[in-house]
């Protein structure tokens, strides 16, 4: 089921609902956090066919309880593809580098801001998704077969021909534009 942008979301008795054209979606799950990566190599985007979802998407997965967002992102990419990547900063601000602090009993580690953050609610899940743009050090993939069926590197022109979600296609196009601007 697709959800309309700007649809009314409200909470009642610790259940989340999204009201769309008189249909109410109920979800009993707790909020989960997901990190995803639009991974580029040589002006091409890596897409993977997800076994469970049956759609072409970018790489990523759920945050583990002992991870920050960047650790989750790097772990998921390594597990699903074998790639090593660098996050592309999609903003012009050097504040990030100025505030790493490591003392005896204290550490402050600024995290790179995601390219896009959004919330999804379905009858089975509710998630906040942190989308990053990354550059791979190689195009050699070791695909994890438990969750993924296949992969391919695509150009921006190929996005709309993929069997994927409309929101994903819009984000992928914007990711190409941001990658070209900030790489």
CATH of the domain at 98: 3.90.79.10
Q: What is the pTM of this model?
A: 0.79
Give dist(CA 63, CA 74) in Å, integer. 11
Residue 12 lies in a domain: no
**Could you tell me the residue range of the domain that residue 87 belongs to?**
34-182
* pLDDT value of position 77: 97
| In a domain? residue 124 | yes
Within a domain: 53: yes
**N residues, the chain:** 183
What pLDDT does residue 28 have? 62
Q: 96 Cβ partners below 8 Å, 6+ apart? A: 89, 110, 112
161 within a domain of the structure (yes/no) = yes
The reported pLDDT for the residue numbered 98 is 66
Q: What is the pLDDT of residue 9?
A: 40
Nearest-angstrom CA–CA distance, 79 and 87: 17
- Residue 160 in any domain: the answer is yes
pLDDT in tens, the chain (183 residues): 343 444 444 344 334 434 333 344 565 667 899 999 999 999 999 999 999 999 999 999 999 989 999 999 999 999 999 999 999 988 765 665 666 677 888 877 778 889 999 998 888 888 999 999 999 999 999 999 999 999 999 999 999 999 999 999 999 999 999 999 887
Any domain includes 112: yes
Cα gap 1→122, rounded to integer Å:
7
Number of domains in the chain: 1
Q: Which residues contact 139 (CB under 8 A, 6 or more apart)?
A: 41, 42, 44, 153
What pLDDT shows up at residue 97?
A: 63
Say if residues 117 and 111 touch (Cβ distance below 8 Å).
Answer: no
Strands 101-103 and 106-108: antiparallel
Give a yes or no: residue 24 inside a domain.
Answer: no
The answer to whether position 21 is within a domain reads no
């Amino acid at each position: 089921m697709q959800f309309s942008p700007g649809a009314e979301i409200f909470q009642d008795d610790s259940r989340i609902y999204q009201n769309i054209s008189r249909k109410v979606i109920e979800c009993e799950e707790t909020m989960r956090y997901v990190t995803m990566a639009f991974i580029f190599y040589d002006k091409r985007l890596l897409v993977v066919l997800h076994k469970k979802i049956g759609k072409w998407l970018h790489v990523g997965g759920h945050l583990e309880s002992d991870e920050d967002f960047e650790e989750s992102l790097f772990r998921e990419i390594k597990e699903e593809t074998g790639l090593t990547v660098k996050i592309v900063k999609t903003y012009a601000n050097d504040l990030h580098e100025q505030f790493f602090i490591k003392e005896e009993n204290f550490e402050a580690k600024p995290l790179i801001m995601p390219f896009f953050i959004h919330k999804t609610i379905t009858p089975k899940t509710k998630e906040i998704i942190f989308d990053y743009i990354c550059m791979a050090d190689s195009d050699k993939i070791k695909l994890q077969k438990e969750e993924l069926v296949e992969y391919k590197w695509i150009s921006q022109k190929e996005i709309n021909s993929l069997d994927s979600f409309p929101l994903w296609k819009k984000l992928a196009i914007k990711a190409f534009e941001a990658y070209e601007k900030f790489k």
